[in-house]
A and B are shown apart, each in its own frame.
Chain A
Amino acid sequence: MSQKKVLVVDDDPDVRLFNTTVVEENGFIPIEATNGEEGLKKLKEEKPDLVILDVLMPRQSGIRLYRELKTDREFKDVNVIMLSGIAKKTFLRSQKALTEFGGEAVPEPEVYLEKPVEPEELAAAIKEFLD
């Protein structure tokens, strides 16, 4: 069976290094993207099994990428771990506001972790979906 892939989307190089190390150490293949726009491109190219997504990023935020992912027929079932300094409450309110502006309603993310996160906590969340 081929190794499972995890897409890590974060603009902070230190956080990307941390996340990809945790992914690799747990036996999965990390794929990196530095913003939402690049994340969407890698999502389509690499078809990962799981996405670890930051919220506040240049070019396109995690809020928009999450929305695009969850409203896309091909990717809506891909599990997402949100990992951000932005509060979960804000994330949920922003999705509600975008839905009110005429967008499609999207489900809550499977896991929402606030930065900083311990490696064990992230590893446990990853394994929950991929093991």
Chain B
Amino acid sequence: MDIQKVLFVTKFEELWFDALESLMDLRQVSLNHVVFLNVIQREKVALHRGKGYEKKEEVRLREMANIRFINWAENLFEQGIEVGAYIVVGSLVQKVIMAIENENIDLVVIGNQRKGKIEQLYAHSDIMEIIRRSGTPVLVYKYKSGPEAGAEKPFEKPLLATSFSETSNIAVNYLKNLGKVIKKINVINVADPKLLKESSAMAVQKTRKESRRKLEKICDMLSSEGIDATPSVYIGNPVHEIENAAKEFNASMIIAGTSAKESWRERFVGSTPRKLAENSVFPTLLIPPGKQI
């Protein structure tokens, strides 16, 4: 599947226009339409004791968002890109899913919806919920060196973390179409640290060799599409090792597949993609399972 239409979700606090501009490389492959979405949280205009629904506040917030979007849209229109915009009141997850369905979106770009520790424990991750319900890839955009340093091009030098699952294979297929924008990609697998408890070094080496062989196969597939791909095997905690590898390779983004559904354990303890999306300093592209891409 090509990335023709991007949904850019912003609260204007965590994601600015330069983030969108850093994705304009995707025009070389297929990007031709950007849809802006600003969700005004209900609690900003309602649910205030004794005040009822604050229509004036809604109008004020809508107009503020509209002015920003008009500026951004003018910039994109002048480049020949089609632009649409939604400014809506409601729940982030519901409104993002509504926009994905209305617009037939290929990629969602969203800032990190970081929650407090208590909220994290009880609330389902918004991003994982969007992926689970929409089946659309989500790029959790972060400013690697902080917003002051500006946005870097995430697709230029990504790191693909694969577990060799079906979703990981979908991620590989997704990347095959992006040969014109990816300059180099590092493909890694993080082996289970339980391996180190094996009595024989041979057993550990055997697993490493097997992982390496599978990684080389993936790299060969990517190379055949003109993408410079390098395999590496890591061992240890997946979240830490993926983050370390991204730093070592100075990656522009981490790409990972997500499982079909978050189990109850994952919901409370957190899955690897969820932890990367919420805690990594790198932009994180999460690929859902099962979508034909």
Interface residues of A (CB under 8 A from B): 35, 55-61, 63-64, 85-87, 90-91, 93-94, 97-98, 100-101
Per a CB cutoff under 8 Å, which of B35, B77, B80 touches A86? B77
A and B contact pairs by CB, cutoff 8 A, 7 listed:
A55-B73, A55-B77, A57-B84, A58-B85, A61-B77, A61-B83, A93-B77
B292 in the interface (beta carbon within 8 A): no
The interface residues of chain A lying within 8 Å CB-to-CB of B69 are: 56
The interface residues of chain A lying within 8 Å CB-to-CB of B70 are: 56, 85-86
The interface residues of chain A lying within 8 Å CB-to-CB of B66 are: 85
B80 lies within 8 A of A90 (CB): no
Closest to B75 in A: A90
B200 in the interface (beta carbon within 8 A): no
Q: Is the interface of A mostly helix, strand, loop or mixed?
A: loop
| Extra A-B contacts (5), CB below 8 Å, given A35-B84, A58-B99, A87-B74 | A58-B84, A58-B86, A90-B74, A91-B77, A97-B79
Nearest Cβ in chain B — how far from A115, in angstroms? 10
B79-124, CB < 8 A from A: 79-80, 82-86, 99, 102-103
Interface residues of B (CB under 8 A from A): 35, 66, 69-70, 73-74, 77-80, 82-86, 99, 102-103
A64–B82 Cα distance when bound, in Å, is 8
A57–B33 Cα distance when bound, in Å, is 12
Nearest Cβ in chain A — how far from B139, in angstroms? 21
Per a CB cutoff under 8 Å, which of B77, B82, B84, B99 touches A90? B77
A61–B103 Cα distance when bound, in Å, is 12
B73 lies within 8 A of A56 (CB): yes
A90 lies within 8 A of B102 (CB): no
The interface residues of chain B lying within 8 Å CB-to-CB of A58 are: 35, 84-86, 99, 102-103
A86 lies within 8 A of B74 (CB): yes
The interface residues of chain B lying within 8 Å CB-to-CB of A93 are: 77-78
Of the listed residues A58, A91, A98, the one surrounded by the most CB atoms of chain B closer than 10 A to its CB is A58
B35 lies within 8 A of A90 (CB): no
Nearest Cβ in chain A — how far from B142, in angstroms? 27
4 residue pairs, one from A and one from B, having the closest CB atoms: A97-B80, A94-B77, A90-B74, A93-B78
The interface residues of chain B lying within 8 Å CB-to-CB of A56 are: 69-70, 73, 83-85
A111–B147 Cα distance when bound, in Å, is 41
Nearest Cβ in chain B — how far from A96, in angstroms? 8
Per a CB cutoff under 8 Å, which of A60, A85, A97 touches B78? A97
Given contact pairs A56-B85, A58-B86, A85-B66, A98 touches B102 in the complex (Cβ within 8 A): no
A91–B78 Cα distance when bound, in Å, is 7
Closest to A14 in B: B59
B85 lies within 8 A of A98 (CB): no
A82–B206 Cα distance when bound, in Å, is 68
B80 lies within 8 A of A98 (CB): yes
A63–B269 Cα distance when bound, in Å, is 48
Closest to B79 in A: A97
A63 lies within 8 A of B85 (CB): no
Per a CB cutoff under 8 Å, which of B35, B80, B84 touches A101? B80
A61–B74 Cα distance when bound, in Å, is 12
The interface residues of chain A lying within 8 Å CB-to-CB of B102 are: 58-59
Closest to A93 in B: B78
Nearest Cβ in chain B — how far from A41, in angstroms? 15
The interface residues of chain B lying within 8 Å CB-to-CB of A60 are: 82, 84
A61 lies within 8 A of B86 (CB): no
